[in-house]
Structure 1
């Protein structure tokens, strides 16, 4: 099994490589350099020893290779089959002068990942990475790096591709639906305790007024694609794994292994480490893998897992979730603040309910209005006016995209005005000091309060000021000393 799985990745790896820039058309490389995968900075922060251990797994090398920019992949492929090092001058001769900065940046990124040996006199791949990546492309061996297929009896007990898609979608939408519905009086299905802890730890949700509610960060999270959302949570999981004394290399190796597996195939769990067996239950809660208690010795990766390091949609393309631009837009907004949402997705409806007053709901249409009360409710939860506008733009109906500007300016301005109105007044606990016997007494006490930096408001005409609660004890003592104990 190992041989066939490994060799099947060779064409994918080779076809994804790009030529070194020989002309001025390098916009793709520049874009990739600026928008690298979110996991790469985390990998670059790890020690050389950790990455070398990780590169012992052929599946990990293939997965990391997929995350690189086209230029970085091309550099790796050019060096992979060389038996000796090449001088930097020889490699640099293939690059036009005005694109040298793009090439230099790619070299530095590969060195940070310890794929290239950090040397100014020669360019050579890390020996461990080179050997494992060659193994991934040519196949052979029995390391089980790409997973070990379950036997026929176990495979018959597992789910098909459509069932796996349904399972992944249900688990993923349960998480998103809980985020947007908590604190609104609805009773959504609760994810597992581990998922809830991760949502709170990553500041996507927070405890407000005795209930879990979505935060401003959480609402921004909903604007991302499902692929980016999943990696946002997995990055938090990686940080927590270190705190839980889980072997980070085992955690990363398992995620990379899942990304190279075949959708619809069942794999045995017998060759997994203790850390990876703990991950089976954790990742099941996110819909990344299907792991049945009745068939505990094996598991099946879902589409969320097999697309971790690819650009393919991580969820069935026929169904759109509340986050990301998976599918066409569905929102029409009029200048009178009336909103029409052509959707039958409960999650999308729940997201709109965060900042829209919903009035009617039909089979595939939801009608509502942007009102002062609904927008202020969202603002109170930490959602900003710009985030509301961004969501409306991201999910605008194709018919709306013919407009210039896309959203009515009056509606955008009113949303921002409601935000300014909310921020105009601020509340604070404190004490009002008034009824001073003379102007001198008032100014003397006020000066002392200013020295403590506790004055929030003052009115010299009425001889009164308002001070923070934490400074009341000092001010009270000062007045008592000045008046001989008589207030």
Structure 2
């Protein structure tokens, strides 16, 4: 799972764990309803949109017809999530469901523009005497966030973050050490994993720890969550009035400024500005996308961008080149980016604007021992690949597609190439930014350490006949909770989370057949 999807799952798990009264109060804010919807998986969004403008309850048997049999797992997870968030409610018979009325009304208001004027904050009507634009806010956010990351990797002469930030790093298990002295804090295994995540995931990691502190700080968790979700819906480069905020939200501004989420000239200022780190919290847009200012722009369109082979990479492009012999070249002079690369690369030479190194079994193993996974390393290298690697990968992909398309023409007796045939050839291949030998070897080095996996769950056995076993095991496989099965001995093992679903299905199905 990518770090982007991982942070969304983590945020959703936090929301699902909230008491129902807290969830109900959250749904009273239109901005919160919109943000929660943005964080949900695609199929869950589909179910919400289907019921949003439907005044009548929806029959569960009709919902089964909305997805293919192979998507039962996604359907099960979507309905489970909606129930945990109390966004849907079953009727007394358990055959029909309807959308939470408060959520439906406020979310509909968002979509139709009928929400209250201040639902997404109050814009300042008077111009600011001190010029603040998007470029200034990006620089401010980058400096604040890089201060935290530099401190974590132990960069020399780095500025020490505020006390509140250090507390969150320690509370979240990202750093450890006795007392509150910054010199005593050291990065943990979780901290190493944290460094390789994208910025959105890193921000949410700290914000979730901040939310866990709300009771100790005597802050209303609903107020805190609503403000975080409102920030995700504000406009970059615009200023908003402080007077429209609650006392809890005003007290949050100083902390959020330390994280780089908001800019406020001083504590008494009557206005604040959300930064890009805040406005992308609940969207699919990228924030700064890297642990350094050199990678502070999204890499969208890099594959189609013209590249001058003789030019030095600009600060808005990827920097890493990897050869099939596992040698790595990174065009960067950022101490932070070099420190992150040093987590899984054996660095050998450093020049003014470039570092050279080698990916080795020992360097990858050191990263694995620190809790970093092979997928995280591969994702990091792909995200920060040099434009030349992207261009080369695109050329290779085009050649493969053309070869497969011409092969299909030959086998079809010289028939003209159809768009469907070409689309099929495209679907068979994917863009390989990194050499396949490097990707496969990194995964193999991880498999050397992951020889045994353990799962918590329940074993089903002692079936009266083969039909009962086949029905239940097939259902468990469809909803994605089946871990192991043995058809000969009529036994299968399901996850701890999926056992109740299988038992309920067994009670309904087997009673009907007997």
Change in 2 beyond 3 A, CA 1:34/1:158: closer
Instruction: Find the counterpart in structure 2 of residue 204 from structure 1.
Output: 174
| Match runs of 1:319-334 below 5 Å | 319-320=294-295, 328=318, 330-332=320-322
Instruction: Find the counterpart in structure 1 of residue 335 from structure 2.
Output: 346
Instruction: Find the counterpart in structure 1 of residue 36 from structure 2.
Output: 64
Structure 2 CA distance, aligned partners of 1:94 and 1:371? Answer: 49
Structure 2 CA distance, aligned partners of 1:113 and 1:252? Answer: 15
Instruction: List runs of 5+ in structure 1 lacking aligned partners.
Output: 1-27, 420-487
Instruction: Find the counterpart in structure 2 of residue 95 from structure 1.
Output: 67
Structure 1 CA distance, aligned partners of 2:103 and 2:322? Answer: 51
CA contact (8 A) 1:173 1:321 kept: no
Query: In the alignment, is residue 137 of structure 1 matched against residue 123 of structure 2?
Result: no
> What is the alpha-carbon root mean square deviation over aligned residues?
4.0
Change in 2 beyond 3 A, CA 1:38/1:164: same
**What's the CA shift for 1:392?**
7.8
**What's the CA shift for 1:308?**
0.6
Change in 2 beyond 3 A, CA 1:37/1:173: same
Change in 2 beyond 3 A, CA 1:121/1:295: same
Q: Over residues 45-74 of structure 1, what are the superposed CA-to-partner deviations in whole Å (9 max), with x where a residue is unaligned?
A: 111110110000000001111111222112
1:187 partner SS: coil
Instruction: Find the counterpart in structure 2 of residue 191 from structure 1.
Output: 161
Instruction: List runs of 5+ in structure 2 lacking aligned partners.
Output: 301-315, 394-432, 450-514
2:122 to 143, 148, 155: 148
Query: In the alignment, is residue 405 of structure 1 matched against residue 394 of structure 2?
Result: no
**What's the CA shift for 1:99?**
3.1
Instruction: Find the counterpart in structure 1 of residue 96 from structure 2.
Output: 122
Structure 2 CA distance, aligned partners of 1:212 and 1:370? Answer: 29
CA contact (8 A) 1:66 1:310 kept: yes
2:14 to 37, 42, 47: 42
| Match runs of 1:380-395 below 5 Å | 382=370
CA contact (8 A) 2:323 2:435 kept: no
Change in 2 beyond 3 A, CA 1:225/1:111: same
Q: Over residues 230-250 of structure 1, what are the superposed CA-to-partner deviations in whole Å (9 max), with x where a residue is unaligned?
A: 111111111122332311101
Structure 2 CA distance, aligned partners of 1:346 and 1:250? Answer: 38
Structure 2 CA distance, aligned partners of 1:376 and 1:78? Answer: 47
Structure 2 CA distance, aligned partners of 1:139 and 1:192? Answer: 40
Instruction: Find the counterpart in structure 1 of residue 218 from structure 2.
Output: 245
CA contact (8 A) 2:174 2:190 kept: yes
CA contact (8 A) 2:35 2:232 kept: yes
Instruction: Find the counterpart in structure 1 of residue 350 from structure 2.
Output: 360
Q: Over residues 347-399 of structure 1, what are the superposed CA-to-partner deviations in whole Å (9 max), with x where a residue is unaligned?
A: 1023245564554321x212356899x96997899577969966885556637
Structure 1 CA distance, aligned partners of 2:23 and 2:246? Answer: 18
Q: Over residues 83-110 of structure 1, what are the superposed CA-to-partner deviations in whole Å (9 max), with x where a residue is unaligned?
A: 2323223333333444344323322211
2:213 partner SS: helix
Structure 1 CA distance, aligned partners of 2:39 and 2:230? Answer: 14
Change in 2 beyond 3 A, CA 1:97/1:282: same
Instruction: Find the counterpart in structure 2 of residue 291 from structure 1.
Output: 264
Count of aligned residue pairs for this structure pair: 379
Structure 1 CA distance, aligned partners of 2:365 and 2:64? Answer: 57
Structure 1 length-normalised TM: 0.67
Q: Over residues 134-184 of structure 1, what are the superposed CA-to-partner deviations in whole Å (9 max), with x where a residue is unaligned?
A: 22122235462200111214x4435111111111111111111111125xx
**What's the CA shift for 1:116?**
0.9
Quick check: which has more Rg, 1 or 2?
A: 1
Structure 2 CA distance, aligned partners of 1:157 and 1:242? Answer: 36
CA contact (8 A) 1:340 1:366 kept: yes
